[in-house]
Amino acid sequence: MAGGAPARGGGQRVRVVVDLTRCADHGQCVFAAPEVFQLDERGKLSYRPTPEDRLREKVEDAMDACPMQAITIED
């Protein structure tokens, strides 16, 4: 499997980066990948920076859905 950092148990991980200076907390990423992105009680984005590689497609969907284009994957 290409890309990502090794996880415990030998699995791969995706490195997700959100430019919080661009993020406007629209929450479209939450709908696309709720396992990775959440809005807190104040409506601010929080996210898992190294989710499992099995979630890569959902993270890519979140990247596409972000109106501010604030999400990237680093390989």
- Quick check: 12 and 5 in contact, CB under 8 A? yes
Nearest Cα neighbor of 2 from 55, 16, 13 is: 13
Report pTM: 0.84
Which tens digits make up the pLDDT trace of 33-46? 999 999 999 999 99
Question: Nearest 5°: phi and psi at 15?
Answer: -100, 110
In a domain, 3, yes or no: no
The percent of residues in the chain predicted with pLDDT above 70, rounded, is: 87
Here the CATH number for the domain that contains residue 21 is 3.30.70.20
In a domain, 1, yes or no: no
In a domain, 25, yes or no: yes
Q: Which domain covers residue 40, as residue numbers?
A: 8-74
In a domain, 2, yes or no: no
pLDDT band at 4 (very low <50, low <70, confident <90, very high): very low
In a domain, 48, yes or no: yes
43: left (phi over 0), alpha (psi -120 to 50) or beta: left
Q: In the prediction, which pLDDT does 64 show?
A: 98
Nearest Cα neighbor of 14 from 43, 45, 55, 58 is: 55
Q: In the prediction, which pLDDT does 11 show?
A: 77
In a domain, 32, yes or no: yes
Which tens digits make up the pLDDT trace of 44-70? 999 999 999 999 999 999 999 999 999
Count of domains forming the chain: 1
